[in-house]
Amino acid sequence: MMITDAEFSCMLSAQICTEKKTILSVDDILALIGDHCHGVIGQLTEDWGEVLFSALKRAGGTAFSNMAVGYNNVDVDAANRNGIAIGNTPGVLTETTAELAASLSVAAARRIVEADQFMRAGLYDGWLPHLFVGNLLKGQTVGVIGAGRIGSAYARMMIEGFKMNLIYFDLYQSTRLEKFVTAYGQFLKANGEQPVTWKRASSMEEVLREADVISLHPVLDKTTYHLINPERLAMMKKEAVLVNASRGPVIDEVALVEHLRANPMFRVGLDVFEDEPYMKPGLAEMKNAVVVPHIASASKWTREGMATLAALNVLGKIKGYPVWGNPNAVEPFLDEKAAPPPACPSIVNAKQLGLPSSKL
């Protein structure tokens, strides 16, 4: 969405991109920005760097918002150089994305997609003891790499839903998550059930060796690029389930295809891919892979929330509003019955640009 300068002092006008292309190139976006544009709402598939930020600045722009929580497609240093505020949309994706990661975990562990295809192909001719035997989750260990917002929500779902034990690796301690598992374990024990346990691993490798289901939820940066590589795949249990709903390049996908081929009982659930929209050769043929097209945040509530927050980030910056204090507590911006607070919900480079904080 491009915002032009007509009447913008009291009323903003918005231009909605209706290109048939799914992914816009830098040249496409340059043409859309044109000579007058105050702010842009863009997608994670776009490459926002020096070229686009300097063009936006020349067009009179000061604001860009990704309609996403992740912003690895944005060169924040380039935005800073051009004085462009960068918005993102935390607070509305957490549960939806975690639910998809949980769905992929179950689908891969219980071979749901393979079984569905078998059924539709008319191959089912009666119950058999060994038909699509998969993994029981209860009592097994769930491993989380990157226990931030989504990783923690996913961990809770797998612990509460399937009574799995937790092992996690993050650069920071997740005290809230640890307290939750301890309390839930005590609750189970008080009810005569086997308590769940947690462990903070001292290395990622520890998680890979010990967990039965491993879900990846880190940000994508230099430290997490190809975090799952041939050596680390080899450390995992032969019947492990690996899930990725973070960013595609966190996994070396060529190595993953090799591993899936060599280990038919190893299964993956993937929402994201290294070269979206493409899959690496061979992945589509692997029966032990469940693949979905980057739909982790695709619930109606979340997508509406993302659009609202992205629009309010850009609008707020153009109007000169301060930046909301807690970008994870964005409910006041989502209330359809009340006017949103006069603030930008989430600007990731607010400090670098010296933007004021909201007192609300």
Ligand X SMILES: NC(=O)c1ccc[n+]([C@@H]2O[C@H](COP(=O)([O-])OP(=O)(O)OC[C@H]3O[C@@H](n4cnc5c(N)ncnc54)[C@H](O)[C@@H]3O)[C@@H](O)[C@H]2O)c1
Residues annotated catalytic, as ranges: 247, 276, 294
Residue among 169 and 321 whose Cβ is closer to ligand X: 169
Cβ at position 37, least distance to ligand X in Å: 26
Cβ at position 302, least distance to ligand X in Å: 9
CB under 6 A: which stretch of 107-115, 146-154, 311-319, 338-346 binds ligand X? 146-154
Place of tokens 């739909």: 295
Residue 214 near ligand X by CB under 6 A: no
Residue 220 near ligand X by CB under 6 A: yes
d(CA 315, CA 317): 6
CB under 6 A: which stretch of 121-129, 219-227, 261-269, 275-283 binds ligand X? 219-227
Number of residues this chain uses to bind ligand X (CB under 6 A)? 30
CB under 6 A: which stretch of 10-18, 49-57, 89-97, 235-243 binds ligand X? 89-97
d(CA 86, CA 75): 10
Residue among 259 and 294 whose Cβ is closer to ligand X: 294
Q: Give which of 314, 337, 148 is closest to 246, Cα–Cα.
A: 148
d(CA 324, CA 57): 24
d(CA 197, CA 177): 11
d(CA 360, CA 343): 9
Per CB under 6 A, which of residues 23..82 are in contact with ligand X?
69-70
Residue among 18 and 202 whose Cβ is closer to ligand X: 202
Residue 104 near ligand X by CB under 6 A: no
Sign of CA dihedral 347, 81, 73, 146: negative
Residue 175 near ligand X by CB under 6 A: no
CB under 6 A: which stretch of 159-167, 168-176, 188-196, 332-340 binds ligand X? 168-176
Residue among 42 and 134 whose Cβ is closer to ligand X: 42
- Taking CB under 6 A as the criterion, the residue among 89, 246, 308, 313 binding ligand X is 246
Q: Tell me how crowded residue 280 is: count the other CB atoms within 10 A of its CB.
A: 18
Q: Structure tokens of 329?
A: 């507590």
Cβ at position 149, least distance to ligand X in Å: 4
Residue among 12 and 208 whose Cβ is closer to ligand X: 208
Interface residues toward ligand X, by CB under 6 A:
69-70, 90, 93, 97, 145-151, 169-172, 217-220, 223-224, 245-247, 271-272, 294, 296-297
